Structure 1
Amino acid sequence: MEDAQLISLITTSISNFGFPIVITAYLLTRFEKRLDALNASIIELLQALKDEVRK
C-alpha cells in the first residue's frame, strides 16, 4: 500500500471509528508480528532442549 493511501485510510478510519479504536487496531497488528516471532523462538528453543536431552 502506498504512503498516500495508508494516510488516507488512517484518517478516514479515525473519523469513522474514533482515535482509541484505530490506535488499538494498530497496536494489535504490531504485537501480533512480535508474538509470532516470539512463538517461533520458543519452538526453536524447545527443539534445542529436546536435542540436548537426547545426547
Structure 2
Amino acid sequence: MEALVGLIGNVGFPIAVSIYLLVRIESKLEKLTNSINQLSSVINNIPRL
C-alpha cells in the first residue's frame, strides 16, 4: 500500500490509475486470448460439408 501511495505522489494520479487498470486487465486479456484460441481449434475441427 505504501508503494501505491508513493507512486501517486511521484508520478500523479492518472498514471497510477492507468497502471492499476492495466495490471487488472492483463489476466482477463490472457483468458480471452486462450478462449479465442480454443474456439478457433473447435471451428477448425468441425467437419465440412
Structures share fold, TM-score greater than 0.5: yes
Q: Which of 28, 38, 43 in structure 2 is aligned with 1:34?
A: 28
Q: RMSD of the alignment, in Å? A: 1.2
**Please, what TM-score do these two structures have when normalized by structure 1?**
0.79
Structure 1 gaps of 5+ residues are 1-6
Q: Which structure dedicates a bigger proportion of its chain to helix?
A: 1
**Please, what TM-score do these two structures have when normalized by structure 2?**
0.87
Structure 1 residue ranges (4+ consecutive) displaced by more than 6 angstroms after TM superposition:
none
Identity, % of aligned positions: 35
Aligned to 2:2: 8
- Is the partner of 1:52 in helix, strand or coil? coil
Structure 1 position 43, deviation (Å): 0.1
